[in-house]
Amino acid sequence: MDEEVVIGEIRRMLRTPEVAARTARAVRKERPDLDETTVVAALAQFDDLWKALIPAEQARIVQLLVARITVSEAGLAIDLRHDGLGAIAALMAPPKKEVA
């Protein structure tokens, strides 16, 4: 299977409202300061993050994000790990503001 096809599908999925909403719920457990708008903005930066990573880091990100890939005559189906998405979104989001 072509790696770029899988990454392209992950990128497409990250832009969907349903994935963004699930990711926002997952992120709130660790970062209650992040709202859905901030999470969507963080997910939009995925392409930039991906380009900055070396292949070993890219492989680690895919393992964190993907639970299962199914290839059939109908096409490609990717099941995402929403806890992994939450972790990635939290890393890409603005740092938590410290209360003085």
Please give the share of the chain, as a percent, with pLDDT higher than 90: 30
pTM equals: 0.76
Return d(Cα 19, Cα 17) in angstroms, integer: 6
CB neighbours of 97 closer than 8 A, spacing ≥ 6?
A: 33
- Write the pLDDT tens digit of every residue in 9-26: 999 998 899 988 888 888
Q: Where are the domains of the chain?
A: 3-92
